[in-house]
């Protein structure tokens, strides 16, 4: 790298840095040099290094030198487009960007545009484009579907993708990349700039960002910050055997908060957030201002918390991944991670929230919720110290996403198939797309891709006389624009305060408290109490799209806010945990009670070495148990259990059920399992026919298919004027899945859904690695009773709720039959014995 | 379910998984397919086929698979072959919209012709298909079978849409009832019959038909006492008490 002096910085900007008492950082200057060379660039830097400013500086300089902006014609359009994965981040960046613009006195117009932006403002933006437009990937997909988008973006000089490490690898990344190619075709000189947190292999993102080969993207690395100080809460003598909540440590967490200025308390699910928030307030004798922030809360509620943070009015905020990404809402002193972080990268991201000054170390405290989590937290701590991060692997571009993009293109302008094919092949995720598959996707967009060609006259896109494709009617285009995006959420209900009128009729009578997944309320009967938005509520019933609740006096909610992590433990953390378990010297970093637990396990059963997998069998009551310890994360374990129970069924042992944790799995059966041939049972060939057969019946396939059908536009989520809840669906995607599977099993969307399920929900790739790893390395131990290691997974079994009361025995049994039947076809394991 | 209701309905199970019940004293069989079988008169009743629903959505830009009519007709054929009915009565909304008849594939028209030729065939009109059934049909292909608005069989009155209040003997469709049973932290949602022994509402028979939850307001005012639900399982019908669903 060449040496830089301040000459890269125009005097106006140099003076501004000086007036603030700052010196521009090396990577900020390197980004300016990259821009002057006209090169794409990827900046990889830790939080607190002035990363966002580095991304914008070249545009600010360019705009400052531009002089007066023409009112129309060339040069009058958007100069720089900024895309961030979070709506809130655009607001934050707008505020931060305005500081230098105002202080330098630049005549630069900055606006943001998200799903929350008012219609009138959006309209004005179309007529009078700002110089810098801040937006989200979903809005970019919408831009692509605008009529006139080509002209609107013809002046675009630069696109800045913030937190690109958090978007690039999934379907959102696919859609964003397709949007990039679109913009590049509107404005061939467009420069792509990615801003990323520290990653192991920046070339992955360089490759993704580049329109050609990765080398076309200049890599700029920020200086590493001071190493973070990460501690694990030891809770001597109190670490529970099992659990997800960290309840035992609440008093210690409270004491820690009291000593710090502002603490962020991260949890992995929103129900954990509710639980921790509730528990902290229960002992909040000093009335510390402790707030709650998660994705289900009403937007105004979240904005209030954010504003209070920014003002410095709060001492602690309990939050989920909604605050993972780089928003600066105040000076955070300490990050507390309740329950294991499940991945070193997530932990690093969260730690980065504490202390946005590069040269001072961030402070973080992990609070393990169980003994296995104690091991996992120690492993995560060491991984952070070693800079060993885990990131999702690269994948081929998804076809449902491609279908959505093609539809968007057809809504904007008539396209030539061959030209569009070349444009799409310029996107890294779609470099391997064959012409045949592309044609299939276009057919899917046009008529649904069915062998039975009865829909040709209803085609959504049609060929013009010139042989180009365009949307058939303006109405179809409007429907498409209402359904853009790849984030498919479960059907949600508004949680509203209600009351009963005379006559018992339930009415909405108060404010909206937030939103929650419909299936959460499926478990509830009217009168059941639960915690939401930091209060205890009584569920009253559902009307339309509202779940009505009333304030409950009950301090002890009936419906537990339980639930494990939604993220499985990462592969690299899992490896570290396995290594730690077999390394007795390593045990010394653990608290005494956890060490004793490990020693007890060694005495009663066995401590497996890192290469082998322990399988315990024992009897408990009338049930026979098999407990295995693959340490490969909940998703892979779940899939493994589904497949194992099929095999055990064939082996005649009568499997009755299973449960999994991130560390282990337990299967129980009518007959003993200690005499089985475990090497045969765990043979990797289960990923062949067994997987195929099970997958076809799996409810997860149906869910995955639904997502693919929604993303591809085969089915629409939203239609004008028709907000329907899941309770009033007009057709069932499950039925569509069944019909399609029977009549056209090779349909493009079924193939897409299978690939998605294998990669995501089922974690098949990881299961494959696991089975290969343990082949010939299984260590069976027949025990007379449950081992210390088996307790956490056995405790899970008691968690299952069993509904109904004894008076309804006959019909209850019928209901049980129905559940059992569905479980048998979907999840053979979860049937309680 | 209270004892009185249990006695009135006296549900028993057949070997095929269907449930026997009595509605106003008339013997009724609740079939796994969602059809109602009256063994004494040899009458097969099915509600809400919604044929050509797929193409109706396709016409408006949602490309649902075009296989729904053939799936529904195949399901109906299986019932006809199994039961050999003297008459088949479809309780309305047999066609999804007025253009459905015109959009039917030739193979599906032939199947309808063959089915209707096998016994006395009656189409009740529903809100979705009264236009299709009353003359909007393709002049080249007159729909076989009789079209009526309502009819009586013994103590039973067959209509498309249930009416509020006490309607003893009413057999209706229209609402597409379905129910969610929850256990082990999981909800299972299935189409169902709803009956209190005085009247009955049939589930929708069509392949793509969605459901309306039985707790929806549309069901209130139809039953004086909480009714029994009979949910469609894979190979049996499950009797459920009102308070066992969510």
CB atoms within 10 A of CB B145: 21
Whether residue A523 and residue B182 make contact (CB cut-off 8 A), yes or no, is: yes
| Reported confidence tier of residue A322, pLDDT bands at 50, 70, 90 | confident
- What is the chain A residue with the closest CA to B246? A522
The per-residue pLDDT for A236 is: 76
Tell me, yes or no, if the pTM score tops 0.90: no
Interface test with A, best of B12, B30, B65, B106 (most A CBs within 10 A): B65
| C-alpha to C-alpha distance for A57 and A65, rounded to whole angstroms | 12
The minimum CA-CA distance between B197 and chain A, rounded to whole Å, is 16
| Reported confidence tier of residue A518, pLDDT bands at 50, 70, 90 | low
Average pLDDT over residues A68-88: 84
* A800 Cβ contact list (under 8 Å, min separation 6): A830, A832, B184, B185
Q: Chain B residues with CB inside 8 Å of A546's CB?
A: none
Whether residue B186 and residue A744 make contact (CB cut-off 8 A), yes or no, is: no
A750 in contact with B, Cβ within 8 Å: no
Whether residue A801 and residue B241 make contact (CB cut-off 8 A), yes or no, is: no
| C-alpha to C-alpha distance for B57 and B97, rounded to whole angstroms | 10
The per-residue pLDDT for A813 is: 46
- Mean pLDDT across chain A, nearest whole number? 83
The per-residue pLDDT for A488 is: 65
Whether A160 shows a pLDDT value over 60: the answer reads yes
| C-alpha to C-alpha distance for A691 and A258, rounded to whole angstroms | 52
Q: Chain B residues with CB inside 8 Å of A806's CB?
A: none
The per-residue pLDDT for A777 is: 93
Average pLDDT over residues B160-181: 93
Eight-class DSSP state of B15: T
| C-alpha to C-alpha distance for B160 and A197, rounded to whole angstroms | 62
Asked whether A766 and A633 are in contact (CB, 8 A), the reply is yes
Average pLDDT over residues A690-708: 76
Alpha helix ranges (H) inside B118-167? 130-133
Whether A373 shows a pLDDT value over 60: the answer reads yes
Asked whether A764 and A632 are in contact (CB, 8 A), the reply is no
ipTM value of the model? 0.82
The per-residue pLDDT for A27 is: 94
Interface test with B, best of A521, A739, A801, A816 (most B CBs within 10 A): A739
Asked whether A539 and A529 are in contact (CB, 8 A), the reply is yes
3-state SS assignment for residue A469? strand
| C-alpha to C-alpha distance for A623 and B12, rounded to whole angstroms | 33
A522 in contact with B, Cβ within 8 Å: yes
The residue ranges of every structural domain in chain A are: 6-221, 229-385, 399-486+701-758, 492-551, 590-683+775-830
The per-residue pLDDT for A684 is: 87
**What is each CA distance from A531 to A265, A376, A548, in whole angstroms?**
18, 28, 14
- What is the chain B residue with the closest CA to A505? B217
Instruction: Just give the CATH number of A6-221.
Output: 3.40.50.300
* DSSP-derived secondary structure for A483-512: T--S-PPPPEEEEEEEEEPTTS-EEEEEEE
- What is the chain A residue with the closest CA to B61? A460
pLDDT of B12-54, one tens digit each? 777 778 889 999 999 999 999 999 999 999 999 999 999 999 9
Q: Chain B residues with CB inside 8 Å of A444's CB?
A: 63
Which residue(s) pair with A77 in the sheet?
none
Backbone phi and psi for residue A120, each to the nearest 5 degrees, phi listed first: -65, -40
Q: Tell which CATH architecture fits domain A229-385.
A: 3-Layer(aba) Sandwich (3.40)
Average pLDDT over residues B74-92: 96
pLDDT of A616-627, one tens digit each? 999 987 789 999
Whether A15 shows a pLDDT value over 70: the answer reads yes
Whether residue A714 and residue B64 make contact (CB cut-off 8 A), yes or no, is: yes
A816 in contact with B, Cβ within 8 Å: yes
Whether residue B62 and residue A519 make contact (CB cut-off 8 A), yes or no, is: no
| Reported confidence tier of residue A833, pLDDT bands at 50, 70, 90 | very low
Average pLDDT over residues A240-261: 88
The percentage of chain A sitting over the pLDDT mark of 90, rounded to a whole number, equals: 42
Q: Which two tokens stand for residue B138?
A: 């393709």
Q: Chain A residues with CB inside 8 Å of B57's CB?
A: 731
Whether A16 shows a pLDDT value over 70: the answer reads yes
| C-alpha to C-alpha distance for B128 and B94, rounded to whole angstroms | 8
The minimum CA-CA distance between B153 and chain A, rounded to whole Å, is 30
Please classify residue A729 by burial: count the beta carbons closer than 10 Å to its beta carbon, then call 0-12 exposed, 13-18 middle and 19+ buried: middle
pLDDT of A719-759, one tens digit each? 654 444 333 445 677 788 888 988 998 999 999 998 888 77
Q: Chain A residues with CB inside 8 Å of B58's CB?
A: 447-448, 455, 458
Whether residue A736 and residue B65 make contact (CB cut-off 8 A), yes or no, is: yes
- Mean pLDDT across chain B, nearest whole number? 88
Between chain A and chain B, how many beta carbons pairs sit less than 8 Å apart?
Answer: 158
| Reported confidence tier of residue A712, pLDDT bands at 50, 70, 90 | very high
Write out the E strands in A307-361. Answer: 316-319, 334-338
Fold agreement (A6-221, A229-385): yes
The per-residue pLDDT for A561 is: 47
Tokens 């009832």 label which residue? B177
**What is each CA distance from A99 to A104, A158, A616, A815, B144, in whole angstroms?**
8, 21, 62, 63, 77
Whether A812 shows a pLDDT value over 50: the answer reads no
A832 in contact with B, Cβ within 8 Å: yes
The per-residue pLDDT for A652 is: 86
Interface test with A, best of B185, B204, B216, B245 (most A CBs within 10 A): B185
Whether A540 shows a pLDDT value over 90: the answer reads no
A502 in contact with B, Cβ within 8 Å: no
Whether A366 shows a pLDDT value over 60: the answer reads yes
The minimum CA-CA distance between B12 and chain A, rounded to whole Å, is 12
The per-residue pLDDT for A5 is: 52
Mean pLDDT lowest for which of A583-587, A625-629, B168-172?
Answer: A583-587
What stretch of H or E contains A582? helix A571-582
The per-residue pLDDT for A824 is: 41
Tokens 């299935």 label which residue? B190
Note which residues in 166-195 of chain A have CB less than 8 A from chain B: none
| Among A450, A808, A814, beta carbon nearest to B238 | A814
| Among A728, A740, A803, beta carbon nearest to B182 | A803
The percentage of chain A sitting over the pLDDT mark of 70, rounded to a whole number, equals: 86
A31 in contact with B, Cβ within 8 Å: no
Interface test with B, best of A522, A720, A799, A804 (most B CBs within 10 A): A522
Q: Reduced to 3 DSSP states, what percent helix, strand and coil does chain A have, rounded to the nearest 5? A: 45, 15, 40
Whether A342 shows a pLDDT value over 80: the answer reads yes
Whether residue A454 and residue B231 make contact (CB cut-off 8 A), yes or no, is: no
| C-alpha to C-alpha distance for A224 and A358, rounded to whole angstroms | 8
pLDDT of A34-51, one tens digit each? 999 999 999 998 776 788
Interface test with B, best of A814, A825, A832 (most B CBs within 10 A): A814
Note which residues in 465-484 of chain A have CB less than 8 A from chain B: 475-476, 479
| Among A452, A716, A801, beta carbon nearest to B184 | A801
Average pLDDT over residues A211-235: 88
């Amino acid at each position: 790298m060449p040496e830089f002096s301040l000459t890269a910085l125009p005097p106006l900007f140099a003076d501004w840095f000086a007036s603030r008492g700052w010196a521009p950082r090396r990577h900020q200057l390197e980004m300016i040099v990259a821009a002057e060379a006209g090169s794409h660039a990827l900046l990889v830097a830790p939080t607190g290094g002035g990363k966002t400013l580095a991304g914008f500086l070249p545009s600010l300089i360019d705009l400052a030198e531009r002089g007066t902006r023409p009112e129309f014609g060339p040069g009058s359009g958007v100069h720089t487009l900024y895309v961030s994965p979070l709506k809130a981040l655009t607001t934050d960046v707008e505020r931060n960007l305005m500081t230098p613009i105002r202080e330098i006195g630049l005549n630069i117009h900055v606006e943001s545009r998200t799903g929350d932006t008012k219609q009138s403002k959006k309209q004005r933006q179309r007529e009078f484009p700002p110089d810098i437009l801040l937006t989200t990937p979903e809005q970019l997909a919408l831009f692509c579907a605008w009529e006139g988008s080509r002209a609107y973006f013809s002046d675009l000089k630069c696109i800045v993708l913030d937190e690109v490490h958090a978007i690039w690898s999934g379907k959102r990344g696919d859609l964003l990349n397709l949007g990039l190619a679109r913009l590049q075709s509107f404005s061939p000189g467009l420069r792509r700039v990615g801003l990323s947190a520290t990653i192991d292999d920046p070339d992955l993102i360089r490759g993704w960002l580049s329109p050609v080969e990765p080398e076309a993207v200049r890599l700029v690395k920020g200086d590493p910050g001071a190493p973070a100080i990460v501690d694990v809460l030891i809770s001597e003598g109190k670490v529970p055997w099992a659990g997800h909540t960290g309840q035992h440590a609440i008093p210690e967490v409270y004491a820690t908060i009291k000593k710090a200025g502002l603490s962020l308390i991260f949890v992995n699910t929103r129900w954990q957030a509710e639980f921790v928030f509730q528990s902290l307030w229960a002992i909040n004798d000093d009335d510390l201002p402790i707030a709650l922030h998660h994705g289900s809360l009403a937007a105004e509620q979240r904005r209030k918390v954010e504003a209070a943070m920014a003002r410095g009015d709060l001492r602690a905020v309990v939050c989920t991944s909604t605050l993972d990404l780089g928003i600066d809402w105040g000076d955070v002193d300490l990050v507390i991670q309740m329950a294991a972080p499940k991945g070193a990268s997530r932990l690093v991201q969260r730690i980065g929230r504490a202390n946005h000054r590069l040269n001072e170390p961030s402070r973080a405290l992990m609070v393990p919720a169980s003994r296995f989590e104690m091991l996992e937290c120690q492993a995560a701590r060491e991984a952070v110290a070693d800079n060993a991060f885990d990131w999702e692997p690269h994948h081929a571009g998804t076809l449902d996403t491609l279908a959505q993009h093609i539809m968007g293109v057809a809504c904007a302008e008539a396209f030539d198939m061959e030209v569009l094919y070349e444009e799409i092949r310029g996107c890294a995720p779609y470099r391997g797309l064959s012409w045949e598959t592309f044609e299939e996707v276009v057919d899917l967009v046009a008529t649904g891709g069915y062998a039975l060609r009865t829909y040709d006259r209803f085609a959504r896109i049609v060929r013009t006389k010139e042989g180009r494709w365009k949307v058939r009617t303006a109405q179809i285009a409007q429907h498409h624009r209402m359904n853009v995006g790849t984030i498919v959420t479960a059907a949600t209900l508004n949680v509203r305060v209600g009351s009963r009128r005379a006559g018992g009729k339930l009415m909405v009578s108060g404010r909206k408290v937030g939103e929650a997944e419909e299936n959460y309320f499926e478990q509830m009967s009217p009168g059941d109490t639960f915690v939401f938005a930091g209060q205890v509520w009584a569920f009253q019933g559902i009307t339309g799209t509202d779940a009505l609740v009333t304030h409950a006096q009950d301090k002890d909610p009936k419906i537990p806010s339980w639930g494990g992590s939604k993220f499985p433990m990462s592969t690299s953390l899992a490896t570290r945990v396995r290594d730690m378990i077999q390394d007795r010297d390593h045990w010394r970093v653990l608290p005494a009670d956890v060490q004793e637990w490990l020693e007890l396990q060694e005495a009663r059963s066995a401590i497996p070495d890192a290469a082998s997998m322990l399988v315990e069998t024992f009897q408990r009551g009338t049930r026979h148990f098999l407990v295995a310890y693959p340490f490969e994360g909940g998703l892979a374990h779940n899939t493994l259990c589904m497949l194992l129970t099929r095999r055990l069924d064939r082996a005649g042992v009568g499997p009755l059920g299973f449960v999994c944790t991130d560390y282990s799995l337990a299967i129980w059966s009518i007959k003993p399992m200690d005499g089985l041939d475990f090497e045969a049972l765990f043979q990797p060939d289960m990923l062949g026919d067994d997987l195929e057969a099970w997958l076809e019946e799996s409810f997860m396939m149906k869910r995955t298919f639904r997502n693919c059908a929604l993303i591809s536009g085969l089915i629409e989520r939203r239609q004008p004027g028709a907000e329907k809840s899941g309770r009033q669906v007009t057709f069932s995607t499950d039925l569509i899945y069944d019909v399609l599977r029977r009549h056209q099993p090779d349909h493009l969307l079924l193939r897409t859904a299978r690939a998605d399920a294998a990669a995501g929900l089922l974690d098949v790739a990881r299961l494959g690695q696991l089975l290969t790893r343990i082949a010939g390395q299984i260590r069976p131990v027949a025990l007379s009773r449950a081992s210390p290691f088996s307790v956490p997974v056995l405790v899970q079994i008691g968690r299952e709720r069993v509904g109904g009361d004894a008076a309804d025995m006959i019909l209850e049994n019928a209901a049980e039959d129905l559940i059992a039947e569905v479980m048998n076809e979907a999840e053979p394991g979860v049937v309680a014995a | 379910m209270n004892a009185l209701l249990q006695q009135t309905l006296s549900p028993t199970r057949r070997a095929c998984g269907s449930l026997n019940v009595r509605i106003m004293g008339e013997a009724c069989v609740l079939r796994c397919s969602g059809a109602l079988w009256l063994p004494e008169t040899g009458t097969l009743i099915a509600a809400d086929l919604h044929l050509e629903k797929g193409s109706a959505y396709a016409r408006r830009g949602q490309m649902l698979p075009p296989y729904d009519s053939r799936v529904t007709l195949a399901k109906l054929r299986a019932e006809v072959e199994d039961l050999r009915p003297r008459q088949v009565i479809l309780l309305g909304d047999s066609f999804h919209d007025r253009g459905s008849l015109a959009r039917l594939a030739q193979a599906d028209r032939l199947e309808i012709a063959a089915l209707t030729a096998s016994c006395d065939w009656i189409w009740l009109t529903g809100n979705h298909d009264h236009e299709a059934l009353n003359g909007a049909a393709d002049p080249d292909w007159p729909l076989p079978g009789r079209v009526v608005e309502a009819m009586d069989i013994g103590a039973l009155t067959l209509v498309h849409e249930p009416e509020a209040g006490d309607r003893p003997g009413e057999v209706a469709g229209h609402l597409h009832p379905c129910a969610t049973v929850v256990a082990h932290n999981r909800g299972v949602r299935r189409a169902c019959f709803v009956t209190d022994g005085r009247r009955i509402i049939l589930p929708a028979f069509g392949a793509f038909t969605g459901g309306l939850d039985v707790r929806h307001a549309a069901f209130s005012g139809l039953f004086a006492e909480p009714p029994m639900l009979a949910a469609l399982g894979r190979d049996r019908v499950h009797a459920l008490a009102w308070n066992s669903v969510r």
